[in-house]
Amino acid sequence: QFRRRNIAGLLKDRLPARVVALMREAGELADRLEVKLYVVGGIVRDLLLGIDNLDLDLVVEGNGLAFAKALARAQRGQVKVHERFGTARVTLADGFKVDVATARAEYYEYPTALPTVEQGSVKKDLYRRDFTINTLAVRLNRRQFGELIDFFGGERDLKGRTIRVLHSLSFVEDPTRVFRAIRFAVRFDFVLSRETRALIQGVVKMDLLRRLSKHRLTDELQLVLSEREPGKAIALMDELEVLACLHPDLELTPRLRTLLKATEEALDWYRLLFLDRPMESWLVYLMAMLQVLPDQAVGEVLKRIELSARQEAAVRAGRFGGHRIFRELGRRPAVSPAAVYRALSGTSDETLVFLMAKSKSEHVRRQLSAYVTTYQRMRPALKGDDLKRMGLKPGPLYRRILSKLLEARLNGVVNNEEDERALVRSLIGGRKSAVDRPEPPF
Ligand code: ATP
């Protein structure tokens, strides 16, 4: 009924030894509990593709929750059970996580048949998944350890680099799979099978994507635009007319193509500079898409999706705030660093990166770059406490002084703490009312 081959050797070669050891121990535990145990899904797919993936998803034919608890006990880990879904997450002592699910207890070949034992319920469990390449399983029980189980032609499609649904109602059942198909196709550089493509076009025609809740649409959009090559994903969404679920007028125009390329370059620049700073790069791609829509359509898209207040502010600033900023930074002779700071302070890094991509002026880009790399994080050496120690009475004056200090720092008027103290003294000179006690000697 299905192809079998043993890939225990591949597991050993490609996965860290402790993960393989864990798999073996889990398999032996399953033997003791007399249940069948499989590792399924993305990790098996990626193993065969030679891609690193350590998301251990286990499916138990039998009581998955009891198995998860026993696994946690045996491995001295913690278990968190989701009774309703029949799933559990086991967290091992070192933080490694394993997801455990219960496969349905029985599987019927056809409605009137007796439950089959051999093909067990894991087949049913796998049949509920999205694409053939995600339906591969590996048996972990000791005697069958490493046996690859392929009910639906997953290996064939991995070899043929094809994304294929399991049945024709797949996208109707769950339209978010359209986005998943696009993600996997772009991520692995796979093609959509002819039928899969036609089925996507069907749900697009039926307008099913427009019926997705805001929340789900936003989640999927974020995931698609967070893949490594969002430009390609957008091109595929355009080809399949999926972009229209955001707005009927949204399409991949030559202008958008150019902007996407520039976005990618600006993001690469940013990532190279700040490997560890968080950046919601997907928002930058969203800004690029909104850039080619008229103002009113932008509002309509923002109503279709669900962004946090911070995200929406960033997107709006990218789409609508550019003019003011470009006008300011575009002045000649160049405005001072402090003026650049004033124009950009409070702007999110996502917006800044987008402005970098959008601007065609080298002059403007240089200043954006100086802000991102230097000005943005500059602070005066003196703090409020220092002002207090200098005898200044705390109050609104502090903010004014500190901002003057920052401005002077940015413009290179002061370069060290001593300079700053001198500047403070000159700023308050003659304003005795602000000073509590006489200045201490320096
Ligand atoms: P990724 O690397 O993106 O995490 P993954 O394949 O591990 O890829 P997940 O989203 O973590 O993807 O899902 C885990 C498994 O659950 C998948 O292999 C897939 O078979 C299944 N799955 C997830 N979402 C769906 C869905 N909407 N419809 C059907 N199956 C799904």
Spell out the domain ranges in the chain: 3-160, 161-245, 250-377, 384-434
Number of neighbouring beta carbons within 10 Å of residue 66: 15
Ligand 1 geometric centre to CA of 78 (Å): 24
Number of helices and strands in the chain (H, E): 22, 10
Containing 38, the helix (H) or strand (E) segment is strand 36-40
Q: Which residue has the tokens 């002592």?
A: 93
Containing 162, the helix (H) or strand (E) segment is strand 162-163
**Integer Cα distance of 364 and 372 in angstroms:** 12
pLDDT in tens, the chain (442 residues): 556 799 999 999 999 999 999 999 999 999 999 999 999 999 999 999 999 999 999 999 988 999 999 999 999 999 999 988 889 999 999 999 999 999 864 445 555 555 444 445 899 999 999 999 999 999 999 999 999 999 999 999 999 999 999 999 999 999 999 999 999 999 999 999 999 999 999 999 999 998 899 999 999 999 999 999 999 999 999 999 999 999 999 999 999 999 999 999 999 999 999 988 999 999 999 999 999 999 999 999 999 999 999 999 999 999 999 999 999 999 999 899 999 999 999 999 999 999 999 999 999 999 999 999 999 999 999 999 999 999 898 999 999 999 999 999 999 999 999 999 999 999 888 554 444 444 444 4
| pTM for the full predicted model | 0.89
Ligand 1 geometric centre to CA of 386 (Å): 55
- ipTM for this model: 0.96
Ligand 1 geometric centre to CA of 331 (Å): 51
Nearest-atom number in ligand 1 for the CA of 183 is 3
**Integer Cα distance of 349 and 291 in angstroms:** 17
Helix (H, G, I), strand (E, B) or coil at 61: strand
Helix (H, G, I), strand (E, B) or coil at 57: strand
Average pLDDT, whole number, for the chain?
Answer: 92
* φ, ψ at 239 (rounded to 5°): -60, -40
CATH of 161-245, picked from 3.20.20.140, 3.40.190.290, 3.10.20.30, 1.10.110.30, is 1.10.110.30
**Integer Cα distance of 163 and 180 in angstroms:** 10
What is the predicted pLDDT for the residue at 85? 80
Cα dist. 38→57, 185, 367, 396 in Å?
A: 8, 26, 56, 65
What is the predicted pLDDT for the residue at 429? 80
User: Hey, whose CA ends up nearest to atom 26 of ligand 1?
Assistant: 130
**184, 133 in Cβ contact below 8 A?**
yes
User: Hey, whose CA ends up nearest to atom 4 of ligand 1?
Assistant: 42
β-pair type (56-61, 97-103) = parallel
Q: Domain 250-377 sits in which CATH superfamily?
A: cca-adding enzyme, domain 2 (1.10.3090.10)
Long-range contacts formed by 209-218: CB under 8 A, 24+ apart: 209/175, 209/178, 209/242, 209/245, 210/245, 211/175, 212/175, 212/176, 212/245, 214/304, 214/305, 214/306, 215/306, 216/176, 217/245, 217/246, 217/304, 217/305, 218/305, 218/306, 218/307
Which of 52, 131, 132, 180 has most ligand 1 atoms within 8 Å of its beta carbon, as the pocket-test mutant?
Answer: 180
What is the predicted pLDDT for the residue at 110? 57
Which of 129, 138, 209, 217 has most ligand 1 atoms within 8 Å of its beta carbon, as the pocket-test mutant?
Answer: 129
User: Hey, whose CA ends up nearest to atom 7 of ligand 1?
Assistant: 42
Look up the CATH number of domain 3-160: 3.30.460.10
User: Hey, whose CA ends up nearest to atom 17 of ligand 1?
Assistant: 41
The ligand 1 site (C-beta within 6 Å) comprises: 41-42, 55, 129-130, 134, 174, 176-177, 180
What is the predicted pLDDT for the residue at 83? 83
**How many alpha carbons fall within 13 Å on the CB side of residue 402?**
18
What is the predicted pLDDT for the residue at 440? 45
**Integer Cα distance of 277 and 174 in angstroms:** 35
Nearest-atom number in ligand 1 for the CA of 176 is 27
**235, 260 in Cβ contact below 8 A?**
no
Which stretches of 50-122 are assigned E, i.e. beta strand? 56-61, 78-82, 87-91, 97-103
Ligand 1 geometric centre to CA of 59 (Å): 14
User: Hey, whose CA ends up nearest to atom 9 of ligand 1?
Assistant: 42
What is the predicted pLDDT for the residue at 430? 54
Ligand 1 geometric centre to CA of 129 (Å): 7
User: Hey, whose CA ends up nearest to atom 11 of ligand 1?
Assistant: 42
Nearest-atom number in ligand 1 for the CA of 43 is 7
**350, 381 in Cβ contact below 8 A?**
no
Tokens of 378: 């500059």
Cα dist. 396→256, 385, 399, 402, 434 in Å?
A: 47, 14, 6, 10, 10
**66, 33 in Cβ contact below 8 A?**
yes
